[in-house]
Amino acid sequence: MRSAAGSWPASDAAVLLWFVGPSILVVWAVFGSPSADYRIVAAGSLVALLELPFGEPRLLHSVLGAVVVLAVVMVGARGHRLVQRQLLGLPVGMLLHLVLDGAWTDDHGFWWPFIGTSWSTSDLPELGRGGFTMVLELVGAGCCWWGYRRFKLDEPERREAFLRSGRIGRDVAR
């Protein structure tokens, strides 16, 4: 529960790895692309956390938020297919955040503004989990560790390439 000042207790701290690890693994499992920029997918999965100061869902916790970012990527990089393909990870990560967050359980926030133009007054899903937050963070850390090992990022040259380009080696993609 948020205080009147809009802050939240430390016990309701938002998870980070819960969004990053599973998002990267889902994109890898679905697309299996060595050329995807997994850094951008990870960043996209964290974008909705920018709404934490509000304590309630806004644009970034709605389907419309990800669709707007998708449209900006497609129109803004028109004629630059490689840039489009790289930046598509942003709205994909944003959509995965909505799935992992259970944002669809708040119809008013998830479908904003299609079922009403006022903001949802529900608490952000990230803020209402209490002690379960630690469990989710541990699962996310496990996903990150699995990906680290699966993509052989313990090898310095692979790790440097991943940090520089966001890509994983073709030989470990599938």
Q: Return the structure tokens found at 146.
A: 């699995």
pLDDT reported for residue 23:
97
- Alpha-carbon gap, residue 72 to 87, rounded angstroms: 10
What band does 14 get if pLDDT is binned at 50, 70 and 90?
low
pLDDT reported for residue 125:
87
| Helices assigned H by DSSP within 112-168 | 132-150, 156-165
Domain residue limits, the chain: 11-173
pLDDT above 60: residue 155: yes
